[in-house]
Amino acid sequence: MASLTIKPGGPLQGTVSVPGDKSITHRAIILSALAEGESSISGYCKGEDCLNTMRTFQAMGVQINEQPDQLRVLGKGLWGLTEPDQPLDCGNSGTGIRLLAGLLAGQDFFTVLTGDASVRRRPMGRVVKPLREMGATIAGRKGGELAPLAITGSRLRGIAYTAPVASAQVKSALLLAGLYADGATSVTEPRRSRDHTERLLRYFGIPLQQEGCSVTLPSRQTGGWPAKDIAVPGDLSAAAFFTVGATLVPGSDLTIANVGVNPSRTGLLEILTEMGADIRLDHRGEQAGEPVADIRVRSAGLRGIRIGADRIPQMIDEFPILCVAAAVAEGETFITGAEELRVKESDRITVMASELRKMGAVITETPDGLRIQGLGGKRQHRLRGARCDSYGDHRVAMSLAMAAVLADGPTRIDDVACIETSFPCFEDKLSKLLTKS
């Protein structure tokens, strides 16, 4: 298992780009595969998660030509997918497997969905249960709670589903199933999760109604939709590591170019600003129905903050890097209502507490979050170089790498091959930024 050793460094200066948005790339592949004709997806995320989704569609008969700067997808229409002759492997991607479960429930063929050890531990009941209410035939380990999932395509009916958790994966799975259902499909969430599926469906011309935390897709789509080119913005969740790094390393002034700034994703930027960060959005624009901007970050001292359940969905994937910011801020940060973090690629509450503690952070774990006593940013109170483990979680690995940049000596992070799932070239980009100074 590969490891990464990071020496303290910085400042972070200049302009950097990040990979295309992972969430949008999954959806772009799915909806362009169902379109009629050829779509190009430029700026796509080349992480393993999205490549696995691409391979599942190739296995279902969709021609996808993978070029360095774009994917060319020859869509086969709403009913054009064909039965794959072996299980579809979604790798590490919870998004891949859950969205595909929804899409495949309404096909006229049989599929098996599986993934790596982490995905096979993650809860699937949250999509299987409502899909069964729609008429889906899905079997799986522990009654369908765990993958592999075996799906016998069935005739579906639309339902009005009230989800117990705010989850874009659940909402998206049901909307994709809804494309094949008789009657409208509506999903109501306790809080609004990211809305990339809704935006991309609208971009392809499919009408949706949004009211508060509810979204409704009309009865099944008969006509399908024509192909359309999609330019994927940079991934805010990838930009988050450099945003926190540039905030915390004194003397930094970094621009992260062309990043998606969908308000359902920018919770971290708002929280950091409230903590005292100097973050500005320049050159705002729009790509494929998604807002984009350059993020300019200059170093600043941070103060601790209280974060409750209402703010978690907009920063769900940025929790690990927020923990790093809180660990060196002035004063206490108290995060509650974040129990969803326990069922991500790793249990991010336990893992971030244990790994940052190795670096000298003062952290107490609670059932639904963390209490972090910031070190206060003073030189004599810096994080310590240490030997840490990512537990196979890409966002933990990259968050620890940024913590390492701030430490008083080298830090070794074990098990970092997982970074490939979302951010190929992370190490290269980080070391270039650090050696520029």
Catalytic residues: 317
Q: Any contact of residue 118 with ligand S3P (CB under 6 A)?
A: no
Least separation in angstroms between CB 434 and ligand S3P? 27
Shorter beta-carbon distance to ligand S3P: residue 316 or 326: 316
Shorter beta-carbon distance to ligand S3P: residue 321 or 406: 321
Q: Which residue's entry shows tokens 């008789």?
A: 182
Contacting residue, 167, 243, 399, 421, with ligand S3P by CB under 6 A: 167
Least separation in angstroms between CB 28 and ligand S3P? 12
Q: Which residue number has the CB closest to ligand S3P?
A: 23
What DSSP character marks residue 378? -
Least separation in angstroms between CB 153 and ligand S3P? 23
Other Cβ atoms closer than 10 A to 265? 29
Specify which residues 110 forms β-bridges with: 152
Q: Any contact of residue 25 with ligand S3P (CB under 6 A)?
A: no
Quick note: the x/- pattern for ligand S3P over 364-403, rule CB under 6 A, is ----------------------------------------
Chain-centre distance for alpha carbon 317 = 6
Least separation in angstroms between CB 29 and ligand S3P? 12
Chain-centre distance for alpha carbon 417 = 17
Choose one: 129-137, 162-170, 380-388, 425-433; the region binding ligand S3P (CB under 6 A): 162-170
Output the six-digit token pair for 302: 């941070």
Kindly determine how many residues on this chain lie close enough to bind ligand S3P according to the rule CB under 6 A: 11
CA distance 247 to 34: 42
Q: What is the dihedral of CA 197, 201, 202, 204, to 10 degrees?
A: 140
CA distance 59 to 55: 6
Residues 76-95 close enough to bind ligand S3P by CB under 6 A: 95
What DSSP character marks residue 210? E
Specify which residues 156 forms β-bridges with: 181
**Inter-residue contact 390 to 356 (CB < 8 Å):** no
Contacting residue, 16, 19, 23, 177, with ligand S3P by CB under 6 A: 23
Angle ∠(168,171,175) on CA atoms, nearest 5: 130
CA distance 415 to 418: 7
**Inter-residue contact 320 to 326 (CB < 8 Å):** no
Contacting residue, 172, 258, 266, 314, with ligand S3P by CB under 6 A: 172
- Longest Cα–Cα distance in the chain: 66
Shorter beta-carbon distance to ligand S3P: residue 194 or 311: 194
Q: Any contact of residue 314 with ligand S3P (CB under 6 A)?
A: no
Quick note: the x/- pattern for ligand S3P over 259-298, rule CB under 6 A, is ----------------------------------------
Shorter beta-carbon distance to ligand S3P: residue 192 or 194: 194
Least separation in angstroms between CB 349 and ligand S3P? 14
Residue 275 zone, left/alpha/beta (φ > 0; ψ -120 to 50; rest): alpha
Q: Any contact of residue 351 with ligand S3P (CB under 6 A)?
A: no
Q: What does the binding site for ligand S3P look like in residue numbers (CB under 6 A)?
A: 23, 95, 167-169, 172, 193-194, 316-317, 340
